[in-house]
Amino acid sequence: MDIIKNLNKGVGAAATAIIIIGGTPQVVHAVTTNDKLPTIEAKAISKDIEKTIKQQNPLEKIKIKAVKLNNNEPSMAGTYIGNEIKYTKKDGKTYCEFKILASDWMNNIKVQVDNNEVKYELEDIGDTEVLGVKHKGTIIKFQVPKVNPSIKLNMFVVPMKSEVGFRIVEADNNKQSEKISSKKEGNEIKTKETENREVKSNAKEKVFDKLEDGVYTLTFRAYKIENPSEDSMLNNFFDKKIKLEVKNGKKMVTLLNTCFADGLYDFRIESNKVFKESEVSNYGEKNPDTEKYHYKAFKMEIDNLDSDHKGCVLAGPMGGKLSDYGNVSYEKANNYKPVMFTFNKDYKKGWDGFDVDKRILNENSNGNLNKALVEIGIDTNKDGVVSSEELKEAKGVINLSSKKIVDISNLKNLGSNVTELDLTVNRIEDLPKGVFDNLNQLTCLKLTVNKLKTLPEGIFDKLLNLKKIDLERNKLENLPKGIFNKLTKLETLILSTNNIKHLDDDIFINNKNLKFLNISENKIDKIPTSIGELERLNTLSAKNNSISVIPNEVSKLKNLTWLDLASNYIQKVPQSVYDNLKNLKNLELTDNMLIEVPNNILEIFPKVKSFDFRLNNLSQIPDVPKGILKAIYKYPQKTPTELTLKVKDGEITWSENLSSLDIMAWQRTIHTILGEKMAENIDEYKKHLNNKKPLELLIKEGYEPREIIKIQKKNKNGQFETIFENIKEMTLSENIDSIKSFKDSQMKAGDEYRILKELRATFYGDDKYIFTNVANAKVEEDNKDTIKPSNKRHSRHRNKNHKRETIEDNIVKSSEDVKDDKDNKKDNNSDSKNINIKENDNNNDQNNNKKDNNPKDSSDNKKDIEYKINNIDNNANEKQNSKNKTNVEYKNDKTKELKQETKELKQENKDPKIGKEEQNQDKVSGIQKTVTTQNVKNTFENKKETAIKERKLPQTGMPFGRELFALIGSTISGLGVILMRKNKGK
């Protein structure tokens, strides 16, 4: 105690000190020598110390929530961050910190405080759990200028494969937000703070049982089942008010969902431990900007409102899926997210609407141009009305974005001193003719996110100094001829995300200064040839269109550094593009129908760091040599689907061997970013499936796929028009049919058709495009069908690990299945190429070997020989020709023997020795087999008529009939080609 005694020297009697004795903080008062030492009480001292430390080093905790960048609607990111932020002071500086509960899902985090990017520190906190999924958690800490500043976060979310941004704001349930007016005479809500004792003492009081018939306003609290003291994020999903209707003792409550209306599939609150289906209805009016309802009302009956009730939510952003709708019970929530609801016993009689009603009125009301002009300072005399004279005096940048403006007619009075006009995010449907005519010094015009369907002719003709036009995210379907002809100084043109189907070839004829062109996310059928005039162009984005051909004019763009042609129907890149575009740094060709790319593509484009060739029809893709820092993404390809389209006698049929769902599962459920090896062939993919259905894996990952099938027919203008469309939601309870059909009563010779199989998926409430597969067909002059599989190069070829071809390949090919010379060249050219993607699994191999050992299968060998004869072309080598020549004698049998062979063919599928896998393959290719078998049958039932038809030699010189005559014709054609080559060689 000597230490304590010495503390009083030179210190007045009122002085107090804090010291540490034996590791325990003590409060000590200075005393005189004659005074007795005071008694020290530990508990009292600890409280005093805690209070003192807080005063000297403030530490403030605030409840927070995550909201969207542009409004106060909750962001789904709130699920993955903590609900509390801490502010501390150190060395005179203020810092804040909060938890990120799924840092393993979040990359490239950026933090902005008061719109300035700041540096931050991350501290690992180990394992966390969000919505039943284990994650890695961190604490993020950064400096702030004050408590509760503006905080914005941007990050790349791995499962979404996209950037996400949100704001951190103070939660509504902080102390200052909890104050509500006190209840008086039964008309106003009681104050929870002032009546805290009353609530505790009357916790078991039955308040709601005493209510008379009528309408009431309630409030609620949602809290976590596992931690009742912690609020649930669902507090931010619903309006703060609940509508209660009481009639004859029956109580109906209505809760209003105020965010994620599209992604909230179901919401229920149990009554007597039973989750009855809620009455669901859209609330308010469609938002004019999104054309969607932003709010959804859920109405349900609840018996005892005085007790807490369990609720459950099925929401896409929380991992829910539509396929789980209704699959919930009191004991088992399944994919529903459980939560506890308590109805606050402070209520109000009567109903004056939800809190959000005022917001709805504000969102849906149209803005006024004059009001917007006043807000940006154009009203110079402050009389509240912007005159034409004031508009003429306006200069510089006129920013009228996000003002809900519909009519811009008065902007015709703007003067020539305006250099930039921003009309982004409004509700403009029409541009009045001449509205921009006075803006001859305008350099930038932004019309992004409006509702323009057409552009008046000459609308831009007076904008001679214009350098940039942005028309992204409108509803444009076509553009007037010559719409950009007068804009010779134009450098940037953005037409993305519209409904444009066609661009005239000369649309860019006078825009030689154009450097940036974005026409992506449309329905454009071809790149206009005037693209070749844009010699200064450095960026061309045309992804997600309907382009099937790259014009040679693209090769003239020698300054091009960025070329994005992903998600189109392109089959070939012209050699001139490879030869001339040496400055390319980015090349996007994923999700097309490419058949081949050069083996030396890395040398052709040395500045491109990565190539993505996935979702094409490539059999060979070059590898990256060791030591070169480049990446090539190869798998999966669309090739294994073998999508085939057939047209004949007014009927359109299609089939595939591997479903689109398989390709999606191949691509989306193997996570190379987590170290998993990408499957490079069907065998490896099936091993990944592990005897599960692809849809099972996709649903587990959060995808709910749907397939959109379109049958299109080419019109007189050479453009494809949709004549049939079907949208199919994928469910585990349904089988995915591989064969479909559609009838076209208007079908005639020469008609061209194509099938588009587009796969989309809902991913945690967000709609995503996956890929599109394509196949074409043409009705021949004699009304025979032409088949053009999407991956025809590979559908008939053997894999190097197989001794035989698939059953489909062994079927006798009728004259309807014979392709023209050009198609046969493609088939035989690919014989020598190594095909990575196998067509059969090991079981199929075993079945094939069994069949090979069966003497009854000699007919299969004959059909195999016939198939090879029918595919002789200019690239067949002499060895193969010699083999075919020898086998011709084997084919020269009598008609009686051919009948017997046909009989065996009919029995082939009934042979018990054929494996189950081959039987399944027969089902997949059932249309082609049925057509072929039927044709053989018709040969013998209609001998005379068929023989007459088969005597007619087609102009192509290719095999001209079925059965005996077809065999002879095939042989002669093949031998003729061989002799011709030999004579030329001599």
pLDDT tens digits for range 680-696: 999 999 999 999 999 99
Q: How far apart are CA 759 and CA 641, in angstroms?
A: 13
Which class for 38: exposed (0-12), middle (13-18), buried (19 or more C-beta within 10 A)? Answer: exposed
Q: Where are the alpha helices (DSSP H) in 64-193?
A: 175-178
d(CA 129, CA 138): 12
| Alpha carbons 611 and 605: distance in angstroms, whole number | 10
> Looking at the structure, do residues 567 and 644 belong to the same domain, yes or no?
no
- Are the beta carbons of 639 and 794 closer than 8 angstroms? yes
pLDDT digits (tens, 9 = 90+) for 870-881: 333 434 444 444
Identify the pLDDT of residue 160. 57
Alpha-carbon gap, residue 768 to 774, rounded angstroms:
19
Half-sphere CA count of 251, side-chain side, radius 13 A? 20
SS in 3 state form for 880-901? HHHHHHHHHHHHCCCHHHHHHH
C-alpha dist (Å) from residue 585 to 467, 521, 535, 610, 624? 25, 22, 17, 9, 17
Contact 315, 264 (CB under 8 A): yes
Residue with structure tokens 């079925």? 962
Ramachandran category for residue 721: left, alpha or beta (phi over 0 → left; psi -120 to 50 → alpha): beta
Beta strands in 372-501 (DSSP E): 396-399, 418-422, 444-446, 468-470, 492-494
Domain count, the chain: 6
pLDDT on residue 922: 41
DSSP secondary structure letter of residue 175 = H
What number is the average pLDDT over the span 825-832? 36
How far apart CA 43 and CA 54 sit, in angstroms, is: 17
- Residue 673 is given by DSSP the state G
pLDDT at 215 over 50: yes
Give me the pLDDT at residue 737, please. 57
Residue 16 has pLDDT above 50, yes or no: no
- Please list, residue by residue across 480-489, b when 16 or more beta carbons sit within 10 angstroms of its beta carbon and e when fewer do: eeebbbbbeb
Looking up residue 661, the CATH number of its domain turns out to be 2.60.40
185, exposed or middle or buried, with CB in 10 Å at 0-12, 13-18, 19+? Answer: exposed
Is 467 in contact with 446 (CB distance < 8 Å)?
no
Cβ contact 181:188 at 8 Å: yes
Residues 151 and 42 in one domain: no
Query: What percent of the chain shows pLDDT beyond 70?
Result: 67
- 671 and 770: one domain? yes
Question: What is the percent of the chain where pLDDT is above 90?
Answer: 47
Asked if the structure places residue 440 within a domain, the reply is: no
Q: Domain containing 88 — which CATH number? A: 2.60.40.1850
Please give the Cα distance from 975 to 967 (Å, whole number).
12
Give the Cα separation of 486 and 840 in Å (integer). 59
pLDDT digits (tens, 9 = 90+) for 724-755: 999 888 877 665 555 689 999 999 999 999 99
| Sign of the four-CA dihedral 593, 598, 599, 603 | negative
Report in angstroms the alpha-carbon separations of 759 from 183, 544, 661, 700. Answer: 56, 13, 8, 18
**Is the per-residue pLDDT at 246 higher than 70?**
yes
Q: Does the pLDDT at position 316 exceed 90?
A: no
pLDDT at 516 over 80: yes
Q: How sure is the predictor about 30, in pLDDT bands with cuts at 50, 70 and 90?
A: very low
**Can you give the pLDDT at residue 107?**
78
Assign 806 a pLDDT band (cuts: 50, 70, 90). Answer: very low
Q: Which of 793, 452, 753, 471 is nearest to 617 (CA)?
A: 793
Residues 752 and 650 both lie in one domain? yes
Preceding amide of 606 cis, omega within 30: no
Is residue 492 classed as helix, strand or coil in its secondary structure?
A: strand
Q: Which of 120-129, 139-148, 342-351, 793-802 has the lowest mean pLDDT?
A: 793-802
Residues 619/799, Cβ–Cβ less than 8 Å = no
- Structure tokens belonging to residue 768: 């995503």
Q: Are residues 844 and 970 in the same domain?
A: yes
pLDDT tier, 952 (very low <50, low <70, confident <90, very high otherwise):
very low
DSSP code of 934? H
Q: Are strands 214-218 and 151-157 parallel, antiparallel or unpaired?
A: unpaired
User: Average pLDDT of 889-898?
Assistant: 43
Confidence (pLDDT) at 766:
77
The CA distance from 966 to 898, in Å, is 12
Considering the domain architecture, whether residues 661 and 677 belong to the same structural domain is answered as yes
Q: Can you read off the two tokens belonging to residue 138?
A: 């961190």
Backbone phi, psi, residue 972, to 5°: -65, -45
Reference 522, options 548, 547, 498; nearest CA is 498
Note whether residue 395 is domain-resident.
no
pLDDT (tens digit, 9 = 90+) per residue, 202-213?
445 688 888 899
Say if residue 370's pLDDT is above 70.
yes
Dihedral angle of Cα 655, 656, 662, 667, to the nearest 10 degrees: -120
- What percent of the residues of the chain are helix, what percent strand, and what percent coil, each to the nearest 5? 25, 25, 50
- Is 334 a residue whose pLDDT tops 80? yes
Q: How confident is the model at residue 476 (pLDDT cuts 50, 70, 90)?
A: very high
Q: Which residues contact 24 (CB under 8 A, 6 or more apart)?
A: 42
Choose between 347 and 932: higher pLDDT.
347
**Is residue 728 classed as helix, strand or coil in its secondary structure?**
strand
Give me the domain span that covers residue 608: 495-503+518-527+534-634
Same domain for 762 and 830, yes or no, is no
Shared-domain flag, residues 732 and 604: no
What amino acid occupies position 576? Answer: S
Of 757, 742, 831, 754, give the one whose Cα is nearest residue 787.
Answer: 754
pLDDT band at 430 (very low <50, low <70, confident <90, very high): very high
The label of the residue with tokens 């099925």 reads: 314
Question: pLDDT tens-digit profile of 38-86?
Answer: 444 444 555 554 554 444 455 688 888 888 777 777 777 777 888 889 9
Buried b / exposed e over 66-79, threshold 16 CB at 10 Å, is bbeeeeeebbbbbb
Question: What long-range pairs does 5-14 form, CB within 8 A, spacing at least 24?
Answer: 5/33, 8/32, 8/33
Does residue 39 share a domain with residue 113? Answer: no
Q: What H or E segment, with its residue span, contains residue 793?
A: helix 792-795
Using left for φ > 0, alpha for ψ between -120 and 50, and beta otherwise, residue 242 falls in beta
pLDDT tens digits for range 572-611: 999 999 999 999 999 999 999 999 999 999 999 999 989 9
Do 101 and 242 lie in one domain? The reply is no
All residues at 6 or more sequence positions from 827 whose CB lies less than 8 Å from its CB, including other chains: 792, 793, 796, 797, 819, 871, 873
Q: Which residues contact 822 (CB under 8 A, 6 or more apart)?
A: none
In contact, 26 and 47? CB cutoff 8 Å: no
**Contact residues for 834 (Cβ-Cβ < 8 A; gap 6+):** 619, 620, 800
Instruction: Tell me whether residue 118 is in a domain.
Output: yes
Give burial (CB, 10 Å; 0-12/13-18/19+) of 910. exposed
Q: Which of 774, 794, 814 is the last residue of a domain?
A: 794
CA 544, 547, 550, 551 dihedral sign is negative
3-state secondary structure of 923: helix
Is residue 689 packed enough to be buried (19+ CB in 10 Å), middle (13-18) or exposed (0-12)?
middle
Q: Is residue 907 part of a domain?
A: yes
Among 310, 345, 363, which residue terminates a domain?
Answer: 363
Q: How confident is the model at residue 162 (pLDDT cuts 50, 70, 90)?
A: low
> Would 785 be classed as within a structural domain?
yes
151 is a domain residue? yes
* Residue 300 pLDDT: 96
DSSP strands (E only) in 792-891: none
First-to-final CA distance of the chain? 121
pLDDT tens digits for 117-148? 899 999 988 888 776 567 889 999 999 998 88
In a domain, 437, yes or no: no
Backbone angles phi, psi at 588, to 5 degrees: -115, 115
Determine which of 7-21, 420-434, 515-529 has the lowest per-residue pLDDT on average.
7-21
106 and 216 assigned to the same domain: no
Residue 787: what pLDDT?
56
Q: What is the pLDDT of residue 763?
A: 83
Among candidate residues 599, 616, 634, the one where a domain is terminated:
634
In a domain, 600, yes or no: yes
Based on the domain organization, do 219 and 345 belong to the same domain? yes
pLDDT digits (tens, 9 = 90+) for 260-307: 787 889 999 999 999 999 999 999 877 776 678 889 999 999 999 999
